[in-house]
Amino acid sequence: MDDCLFCKIIRGEIPSFKIFEDDHAYAFLDINPFGRGHTLVVPKFHADQLFRLPPEELAGVMPAVQRVATLLRNRLRCDGMALMQLNGACAGQTVNHVHFHLIPRYEGQPAGWQPLAPVPAAQELAALRDEILGR
């Protein structure tokens, strides 16, 4: 899809803080995170909603969801992990390319569904990416 934001990110036409990539999936930090380490895992196959993602593509992306969740847990030492996937504007979907939100959660901290304030600067996200990747 030529004008899809996440397809452009996958193709490298729009920069992202990449966490993981394989043949089926691309994972990168959300620029407006609900929690520290909020990461999006997207199938490389373009489908606007879960209903139109071929089952074999879903099967291709889910190992990356688990792998990235494990990486975030290990590197950020979070206590829990939220997995969220929205379909349709009424559900809160704003980008029409299937994506899985992974949001690290911590004991004693609010597990809200709103963006952190202030929005982290690019430098902060770059440092977080390096921390997650163990650089």
Active site residues: 99
The owner of tokens 């963006």 is 115
Name the binder of 1 from ligand 5GP, Zn ion, none, CB < 5-8 A by kind.
Zn ion
User: Omega before 63 cis (within 30°)?
Assistant: no
Site for ligand 5GP in 11-30 (CB under 6 A): 16, 28-30
Pick one of 32, 66, 74, 109: the residue that binds ligand 5GP (CB under 6 A). 32
Q: What distances in angstroms separate CA 100 from CA 7, 50, 55, 124, one per listed residue?
A: 15, 10, 15, 22
Interaction mask 20-59, Zn ion, x per CB under 5 A:
--------------------------x-------------
Residue 86 is a binding residue for ligand 5GP (CB under 6 A): yes
What residue ranges in 1-135 does DSSP mark as E strands?
Answer: 18-21, 25-29, 39-43, 80-84, 100-105
Total site size for ligand 5GP, rule CB under 6 A: 13
Name the binder of 16 from ligand 5GP, Zn ion, none, CB < 5-8 A by kind.
ligand 5GP
Pick one of 4, 31, 62, 82: the residue that binds ligand 5GP (CB under 6 A). 31
Output 3 or 107, the one with its CB closest to ligand 5GP. 3
65 CB-near residues (< 8 Å, 6+ apart): 25, 41, 83, 100, 102
Distance CA 27, CA 121 (A): 19
Cβ(39)–Cβ(73) below 8 Å: no
**Site residues for ligand 5GP per CB under 6 A:** 5, 16, 28-32, 40, 86, 92-95
